[in-house]
């Protein structure tokens, strides 16, 4: 992929994430709470691809190698993508704009991946019937309006954040997105794919 293709990829995943979020809001308004949560989580997964593409783009701009196979695997890894939502969920107030502050926030959020596993399970339970002790259970009957609203609003904050960042393009934005991906991917500073 070229820098231009990566920039286009960032735009397309942001547009698709916005579309998923719009659908989640429609489902929330229609009181289809489990599906609203599932689409809100999917929207966040889509938004989480933006820093991954930006990091590859920054690597190319700096004439550094990009591990394309690893990027492709990360784009499909739910835990990697949901790690970004974990970071956003733990925030109170605006997102820090410095990689060091992001790193500190992520450390306080916990890095064992439990949040991402729980979100993945919730997303699936919001779509599929589950079985407990041999009995079928409808999709996430425990998801009420309050919980659905929280997830749709959280996805909206994530989408708005990326809209703001992408609306102010420049070297600083690309570098920040690359640093954000590095923090979320839990890699050591200085290691860029």
In a domain, 14, yes or no: yes
* 184 has pLDDT over 70: no
Helix (H) or strand (E) holding 143: none
Higher-pLDDT residue of 18 and 146 is 18
In a domain, 188, yes or no: no
Q: CB–CB of 134/20 below 8 Å?
A: no
In a domain, 190, yes or no: no
* 111 has pLDDT over 70: no
- Label each residue of the chain as H, E or C: CCHHHHHHHHHHHHHHHHHHHHHHHHHHHCCCHHHHHHHHHHHHHHHCHHHHHHHHHHHHHCCCCCCHHHHHHHHHCHHHHHHHHHHHHCCCCCCCCCHHHHHHHHHHHCCCCHHHHHHHHHHHHCCCCEEECCEEECCCCCCCHHHHHHHHHHHHHHHHHHHHHHCCCCHHHHHHHHHHHHHHCCCCCCCCC
Q: Choose the weakest-confidence range: 106-120, 121-135, 165-179.
A: 106-120
Structure tokens at 57: 């783009």
In a domain, 189, yes or no: no
In a domain, 154, yes or no: yes
Residue 110 pLDDT grade (very low, low, confident, very high; cuts 50, 70, 90): very low
Write out pLDDT tens, residues 56-86: 998 898 899 999 999 999 899 887 787 776 6
**What value does the mean pLDDT take over residues 121-127?**
82
The overall average pLDDT reported for the chain is 78
Domain range enclosing 172: 3-183
* 147 has pLDDT over 80: yes
Could you tell me which residues come within 8 angstroms of residue 28 by beta carbon, excluding any fewer than 6 positions away? Answer: 36, 145, 148, 149, 152
* 46 has pLDDT over 90: yes
**What value does the mean pLDDT take over residues 169-187?**
68
If one counts the domains in the chain, the total is: 1
The whole-angstrom separation of Cα 191 and Cα 36 is 37
In a domain, 192, yes or no: no
In a domain, 193, yes or no: no
In a domain, 65, yes or no: yes
Three-state DSSP at 133 gives coil
* 31 has pLDDT over 90: yes
pLDDT of residue 120: 79
């Amino acid at each position: 992929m070229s820098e231009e293709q990566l920039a286009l990829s960032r735009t397309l995943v942001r547009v698709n994430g916005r579309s998923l979020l719009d659908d989640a809001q429609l489902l929330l308004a229609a009181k289809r709470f489990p599906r609203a949560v599932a689409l809100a989580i999917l929207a966040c997964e889509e938004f989480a691809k933006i820093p991954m593409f930006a990091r590859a783009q920054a690597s190319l701009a700096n004439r550094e190698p990009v591990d394309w196979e690893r990027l492709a695997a990360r784009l499909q890894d739910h835990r990697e993508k949901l790690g970004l939502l974990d970071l956003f969920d733990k925030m109170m107030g605006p997102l820090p704009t410095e990689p060091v502050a992001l790193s500190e926030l992520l450390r306080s959020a916990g890095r064992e991946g439990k949040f991402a596993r729980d979100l993945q399970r919730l997303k699936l339970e919001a779509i599929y019937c589950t079985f407990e002790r041999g009995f079928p259970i409808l999709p996430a009957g425990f998801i009420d309006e309050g919980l659905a609203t929280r997830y749709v609003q959280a996805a909206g904050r994530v989408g708005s954040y990326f809209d703001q960042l992408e609306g102010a393009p420049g070297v600083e934005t690309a570098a920040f997105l690359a640093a954000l991906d590095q923090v979320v991917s839990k890699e050591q500073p200085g290691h860029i794919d």
